[in-house]
Structure 1
Amino acid sequence: MAPIEPARRVAVIGASGYGGLQSLRLLHDHPHLEVTFLGGERSAGKRWNAITPFLPLARDLVVRVPEPDAIAAEADLAVLSLPNGLASRLVPDLLARGVKVVDLSADYRYRSLSQWKSVYAAEAQEHPRHDDALCEEAVYGLVEWERDAIAGARLVAAPGCFPTASLLALMPFLSQGLIETSGIIIDAKTGTSGGGRAAKENLLLAEAGEAVAPYGVVGHRHTSEIEESASRAAGQPIRLQFTPHLMPMVRGLLATVYGRLRDPGLTAADCTTLLQAAYRQSPCVEVLPVGTYPSTKWVKQTNRALLSVQVDPRTSQLIVMCAIDNLVKGQAGQGVQCLNLLAGLPACTGLPLLPFYP
């Protein structure tokens, strides 16, 4: 790993959205990264501490229109928390000016522009500027599986929250060829903050409170994102079933992943040992003992992922559970992990791993 460089300057673009707010909170006390530029459109010209008194910054920065020259003059690294389709309008100019970028949107999660357009058709039509070469160059920011590639990258595409939890559960077993590549099912549940900060009817308290509801049952956008990384791990195309559910809580995500074991003699203890080996050098991931199942409250406001595995001997079914905070490990915290690697720091530097309970 490269030598530690203290006080690397960071720009946060899209600072007032949930992703930007979480990024700023995590960077607030970071020992080696300093926020030096805040970018936004609707809040441009306003002082940060005035518009966000609940999260004041020691340097009361004025939010500025995110112009590439201004960002490059103030920052070495940038984290973009923008709606899908917008980041790609800014990224090429930042890279050309030597600014390394972590993008929290989906703009560079796919290896080809045509695939992104097929999944994000509406955004592609509204924001047509995109670069196929940068799609190929971008490194997928699942830190526990792409650590070395991220450290040497210019552009990192942070995974979505559902893919993060699902892939952390799946990758060790797919990469070792221990489960069948067909019949994989992911049942996932998330808090309402996963829908972003913009007003949406289904996220109103009167709608989401005291209710559990599936959505995107067929064709959810994160399905193809999970399949792309799962296919690379398995060395062959993967088609799986993914069903998300909205839960009456603000934050948290639990993914339960099902796959059929190729060796019916494998036990939960065997599979737990495999997970422990896969993540032995990943301090943000903890594997729980057999019979202890993760709760979203155990990871609330932390960058920790909790994994647990069980095996049903009647059906040779593997059941892997992963709990994360959708806004931290599932978004901004993973983005900070990527920033750490780009800055030559250990991936988990400055990130919270213990919750305030309950």
Structure 2
Amino acid sequence: MRRTLTAQHECLPLHTPFRISRGVKTAADVVTVAIRDGDTVGRGEGAPYPRYGESVASVLAQIAGVREAVCDGADRQALLTLMPPGAARNAVDCALWDLEARASGRSVAASLGTPEPGRIASALTIVIDTPQAMARAASAVAHAPVLKIKVDANDPAAQIRAVRAAAPDAALIVDPNESWDEAVATAMRAVLIDARVALLEQPAAAGADAWLSGFDAGVPVCADESVHVAADLDALAGRYGVVNVKLDKAGGLTAALDLARAARARGLGVMTGCMVASSLSIAPALHIASVSDFVDLDGPLWLAEDRAGGVRDDGGVLMPPAPGFWGGA
């Protein structure tokens, strides 16, 4: 029997606005894919990101463009040439991983030769607000092992200091989302050191980050928007020491695994990140998280209602989804 592929848009409301340097999000727009082969169905999810020129319509159109090939049996390796990196390929790739696991009776972890995903410390995000509001937010989760602070170029020093004072023991990741230039980063160096920041994520705009070559930020610097797939790594030399692997950027678990391995081979640290999306996006990413130095997979925790059986937060420790949710035997 020939496969079938369906794709649909879902708008998932957030319980709290998600503010970063480039705007505010009140709902997560995702595209879900289901691939059926006989009685077996595999699922995947992608989160279109306007920063990368994506929309729900463009992602659905890309998926429609490969529907016949996938239904005729195109596999994950074929997708790497049939589709560009991005949310569309992520949704289809992850659906194929899930389908293979269910059809074979062999879980994704077993296929990879890795342990099944377990509990893992994952950053809880403190979004941009006044320093006082960010301190209150941090105080509520000060027990968490890792906090991620969203800032811009307006008053990052006060925001970072406020969060550190409210959460004295948490490891801190600071994420300006491309909003800093060299002058701001230079001025912030002492603040980052004094606040014991563990990681500075993508301070400069991708494509305008050459000044990071040889720049001493005082703390490790992580590439996010500047790296999507393994082929991007050569351009990062001397600028970044860590790379943020996101399935929606890489275009699925297959390419994300390649990126993580290639980063390690170059001596770079690895972070696993996500878009604001449901647990269907996070379950595949857990297979990268298990070999990462930093994990930031709290996207579903911003949803007013996640998918049944999805991941759960336990004081800043992410609990894996229920058995059979995604990628199980």
Q: Which has the higher strand share?
A: 2
